[in-house]
Structure formats: structure tokens, C-alpha cells
A = this chain, B = another copy of it.
Amino acid sequence: MSKEEALTPSSAADRVEQALKFLEGRWKLVILFRLFGGKVLRFSELEKAIPAISQKMLIQQLRQMEADGIVRRIVHHQVPPKVEYCLTDWGQALCPALDALLQWAAARERPGETDARAQSARSAS
């Protein structure tokens, strides 16, 4: 739809580059997948869920995504402190993409589904 504003594919790729900026960073996607599906997790839960990440990185990536409007930070004014994270509506909008990525990842180990690896190296004249 809206072919009139479809512009060239190059522009589309160009536009995506902007959006990609928000997902750059070694842990962004990983975290996002943890929050995938509207889950609300505490800081410590995320830490446990992603053992390989350092506290510093977790905070950093979380903060960035918060600033980008992808994740929401919910502070509970209690003691001990309790902070939860979840996707914003815009972040939720990423779910289809995240899901597609999931499909792809799954397909990788389920040959025949997408019948990859069917091509052979061919060198043109």
C-alpha cells in the first residue's frame, strides 16, 4: 500500500538504518528477546536471565533503549529498591520482527522447511 510514498528500495534501506541505530549494541536484541511478549522483569531477573552480560552493560543498554522509547522503566519507591522493565508500545511493535527472527533462527536447525543450503557455488563466465 501507499506505493506513491514507497520511494526507492534504497531509501527504504536508508530509513531502516536509522531504526537500526536503536538496536545496535551487543546486548540490545538479547535483552529485547527477554522482554519479548510483554513480560515485565526486574533488574535482577534480567541479570539472571542473561548471565553473560555485566551489570554495567545491562544498565547501559537498558538506559539507552529507555531513552529511545523502546523499553519502559518502572521504579517502585520501596526499600529494598525494585525496578522493573518492559517494552513500551513502540517496543511491542518490534515483536513481529523479533518473532520473524525467531522463526529464522528455528529454520536454521530445521532444514527442509526453508530448504536452505540448496545452492552451490557457481562462478559466472
Q: Which residues of A pack against B, CB within 8 Å?
A: 9-10, 12-13, 15-20, 23-24, 26, 29-30, 33-34, 36-37, 39, 49, 69, 72, 74-78, 84, 88-90, 93-94, 96-108, 114-119, 121-125
Q: Which residues of B contact A122 (CB under 8 A)?
A: 74
CA distance A18 to B104 in the complex (A): 11
> Is A90 in contact with B116, judged by CB distance below 8 angstroms?
yes
* Extra A-B contacts (13), CB below 8 Å, given A76-B124, A90-B114, A97-B104: A16-B29, A16-B98, A19-B104, A19-B108, A20-B101, A75-B124, A77-B125, A89-B116, A89-B118, A90-B107, A90-B117, A96-B100, A96-B103
CA distance A21 to B51 in the complex (A): 16
Q: Which residues of B contact A10 (CB under 8 A)?
A: 34, 49
Picked from B19, B89, B100, the residue with its CB within 8 Å of the CB of A97 is B100
CA distance A36 to B99 in the complex (A): 18
> Is B103 in contact with A97, judged by CB distance below 8 angstroms?
yes
Q: Which residues of B contact A19 (CB under 8 A)?
A: 101, 104-105, 108
